[in-house]
């Protein structure tokens, strides 16, 4: 009886050791997409009123957890019974991410295209702020859903030949890291100025070390937020371009001579512009149809 119990413990230890090794491999494979996920979500979680930053981020985090709960079982089932569906879902997600990236560039070139939605929260009424907040939370959760699919599929691809138990444990660990790690760092970023103010108020001495660090953090936050918008846009295009480059042979060979990630960026931008033009054309056509004759 005792020998059977210790044999079970030995099997569990061996399993966890295998899972640990495979999780490290999967983490390396998904490191790039996790970095893109951080940049995209940090940009989406910023720009709110100070007292609404953490509630908004918590709402997005809960949505991210729900996304993983939906994606994981479906990914395991599709991988086992209909692997081609994984590629189709990835490509559809790539179209959406490319569109989001191209739309951000379009909004920068053609500002105020969406009216009040682009105004600073301080200039909006309470109802308008809440409406904008809900809209941005939905957008962030949708983007997280697509990025989560990419993360889960890449992680799953590293353990497809392993037993199902190992697949479930490894991919679930990566999914958990993708949520807790990414949004934990995002929370630190968006509250950087509050931490800086606390350091400034830490003592009554002028020009102390804590004052210098605090003032640096407060002054750096607007620059960080502005850079996150640029980094997030580039990340969207890189992720979407990577989806097409790694899943369509024609596209892969087309950009094979491009240096480093430039090929993925170009593909993401081209696809995004095409999708954006199609969407804008459909919107104009729909508006023309709805206008009374």
List the chain domain ranges. 13-191+228-290
Lowest-confidence region among 45-54, 193-202, 217-226: 45-54
CA nearest neighbour of 174 among 200, 198, 204, 154 = 154
pLDDT of residue 278: 94
CA nearest neighbour of 161 among 9, 18, 65 = 18
pLDDT of residue 39: 67
Lowest-confidence region among 4-13, 24-33, 136-145: 4-13
Cβ-proximal residues to 107 (8 Å cutoff; 6+ apart), any chain: 113, 114, 118
Residue 203 — φ and ψ, nearest 5°?
Answer: -145, 170
**Burial grade of 19 (CB within 10 A; 0-12, 13-18, 19 or more):** buried
Among the residues of the chain, which ranges form H helices?
2-44, 53-81, 83-109, 126-157, 164-190, 192-200, 209-247, 249-254, 262-290
| Average pLDDT along the chain | 76
pTM equals: 0.67
**Confidence check: pLDDT of 13 > 60:** no
Rounded Cα–Cα distance for residues 209 and 279 (Å)? 53
Rounded Cα–Cα distance for residues 236 and 104 (Å)? 10
Please report, rounded to a whole number, the percentage of residues in the chain having pLDDT higher than 90: 8
Please report, rounded to a whole number, the percentage of residues in the chain having pLDDT higher than 70: 74
Higher pLDDT, 56 or 229: 56
pLDDT of residue 261: 82
* Range 60-80 average pLDDT: 87
pLDDT digits (tens, 9 = 90+) for 247-276: 889 998 988 888 878 998 999 999 999 999
Range with the largest mean pLDDT of 59-68, 99-108, 272-281: 272-281
pLDDT of residue 10: 43
* Range 173-199 average pLDDT: 80
**CB of 192 within 8 A of CB of 224?**
yes
pLDDT of residue 48: 66
Rounded Cα–Cα distance for residues 89 and 97 (Å)? 12
pLDDT of residue 44: 67
pLDDT of residue 32: 52
**Confidence check: pLDDT of 75 > 50:** yes
- Tokens 């590293």 sit on residue: 158
Rounded Cα–Cα distance for residues 214 and 198 (Å)? 7
Token pair, residue 288, equals 């023309």
Q: How many CB atoms lie within 10 A of CB 186?
A: 25
């Amino acid at each position: 009886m005792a020998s059977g119990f210790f044999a079970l413990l030995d099997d569990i230890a061996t399993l966890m050791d295998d899972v640990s090794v495979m999780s490290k491999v999967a983490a390396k494979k998904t490191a790039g997409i996790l970095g893109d996920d951080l940049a995209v979500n940090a940009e989406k979680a910023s720009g709110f009123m100070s007292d609404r930053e953490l509630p908004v981020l918590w709402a997005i985090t809960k949505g991210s957890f729900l996304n993983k709960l939906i994606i994981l079982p479906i990914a395991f089932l599709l991988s086992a019974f209909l692997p081609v569906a994984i590629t189709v879902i990835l490509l559809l997600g790539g179209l959406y991410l490319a569109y989001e990236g191209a739309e951000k560039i379009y909004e920068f070139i053609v500002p105020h295209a969406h009216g009040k939605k682009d105004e600073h929260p301080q200039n909006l009424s309470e109802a308008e702020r809440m409406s904008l907040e809900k809209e941005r939370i939905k957008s962030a959760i949708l983007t997280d859903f697509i990025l989560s699919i990419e993360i889960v599929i890449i992680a799953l691809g590293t353990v497809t030949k392993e037993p199902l138990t190992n697949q479930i444990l490894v991919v679930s660990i990566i999914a958990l890291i993708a949520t807790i790690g990414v949004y934990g760092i995002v929370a630190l970023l968006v509250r950087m100025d509050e931490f800086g103010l606390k350091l400034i108020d830490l003592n009554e001495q002028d020009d102390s070390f804590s004052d210098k660090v605090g003032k640096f953090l407060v002054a750096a936050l607007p620059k960080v937020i502005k850079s996150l918008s640029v980094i997030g846009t580039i990340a969207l295009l890189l992720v979407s371009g990577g989806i097409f480059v790694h899943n369509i042979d024609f596209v892969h060979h087309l950009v094979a001579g491009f240096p480093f990630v430039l090929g993925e960026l170009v593909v993401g931008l081209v696809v995004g512009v095409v999708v954006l033009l199609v969407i804008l054309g459909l919107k104009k056509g729909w508006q023309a149809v709805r206008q009374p004759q």
